[in-house]
Amino acid sequence: MNANDAERTRQCPMAVDMIDAMEALSGIHPGYRRVHAKGACYRAVFHPSGEAAPYTTAPHLQGGAVDAIVRFSGNSSDPALADLLSPAKGMAVQFQLPGGVKTSLVGVTFPIFFAQTPESLLDLVRAVNEAQAGQLSVLDMFKEAAEHFSESKRSLLEIKRLLPPASYATNRYFTIHVFYLVDADGRRRPVKFEWMPDAGVDTLSLMEAAKRPADYLEQEMTERLQRGPASFTLQIVLGEPDDPTDDSTRPWPEERERLDAGRLVIEAAIQEPSGLLMDPTAVVDGVELSDDPILHFRHLAYAESFHRRSDSR
């Protein structure tokens, strides 16, 4: 999506409400993303293994190397928040394809989402706002939580269990939603994408993380990249017929077959390119979106956030 597309898709009242509610979490920080505000960008190259090629015509999953931009982030709406205090981290990868075509995989460090629909997410964000402002009684807060508890419970437990990472380069990152890979004959296979850190998963205790500087994750990447590149393997999880495809709150069984689709090699820090928008719905031929309402709504919400931050509002 470019700036013009973002302007056109910005007209959704629900997306306006969502971004208003997200801004209320920590105030407006002009020029920053409305969530995942704190982050750092890197230059990278993706080397596809070819293992996914029988399942899809997508150009970045065939043979040749593809340039990419990676942005690691903390989940908070506050760009000044210490790394320790944002529990989940993000990894957004934009593949730069021939002809100026771009497609992104946007992941986080927990495998399932905490809302089934944009409506329930908006309720949750508003409930947090009201609780922060002291407008919601403890009883109302419990009522609100209970209403969403069944769909949010698993995801929130996963997030609660997260320990601070030793590095942006030592997390698994999940793109959560289901996508379809489409082969040359039009056959569709439901899949999920996951980045596995080649350096292994490495976390800190809360005590250790509390001793690190507020921006320790970006500092650690600077030191790590001075020693050599950091890398991730892109795993593609192959869905089976009964696996849910339109509900981000439900996991797939662990034992699903996986492909190693390629290796992302992160080389150096870069300034964020102007106009960078990592839209998870911007897919290319050979990849299709599932019917997950959260996935489709992200297109609208990201456009609204992009518009506001581009205005330096």
- What residues make contact with ligand HEM under the rule CB under 6 A? 18-19, 33-36, 39, 71, 73, 90, 92, 106-108, 113, 118, 121, 175-176, 248, 277-278, 294, 297-298, 301-302, 305-306, 309
88 contacts 108 by C-beta, under 8 angstroms: yes
Give the shortest CB-248-to-ligand HEM separation in angstroms. Answer: 6
Question: How many Cα atoms sit within 13 Å of 173 on the Cβ side?
Answer: 29
Query: Between residues 62 and 276, which has the closer beta carbon with respect to ligand HEM?
Result: 276
DSSP string, 88-152: -EEEEEEEE-GGG-EEEEEEESSSS-S-SSHHHHHHHHHHHHHHHTT-S-HHHHHHHHHHHHHHH
In the complex, which residue's CB is closest to ligand HEM? 90
Give the shortest CB-231-to-ligand HEM separation in angstroms. Answer: 19
Query: Between residues 53 and 127, which has the closer beta carbon with respect to ligand HEM?
Result: 127
Give the shortest CB-70-to-ligand HEM separation in angstroms. Answer: 9
Rounded Cα–Cα distance for residues 100 and 84 (Å): 37
Query: Between residues 53 and 170, which has the closer beta carbon with respect to ligand HEM?
Result: 170
Query: Between residues 175 and 235, which has the closer beta carbon with respect to ligand HEM?
Result: 175
**Nearest C-alpha neighbor of 117 from the set 290, 297, 282:** 297
Give the shortest CB-256-to-ligand HEM separation in angstroms. Answer: 18
Query: Between residues 178 and 182, which has the closer beta carbon with respect to ligand HEM?
Result: 178
The phi and psi torsions of 57 (rounded to 5 degrees) equal -95, 5
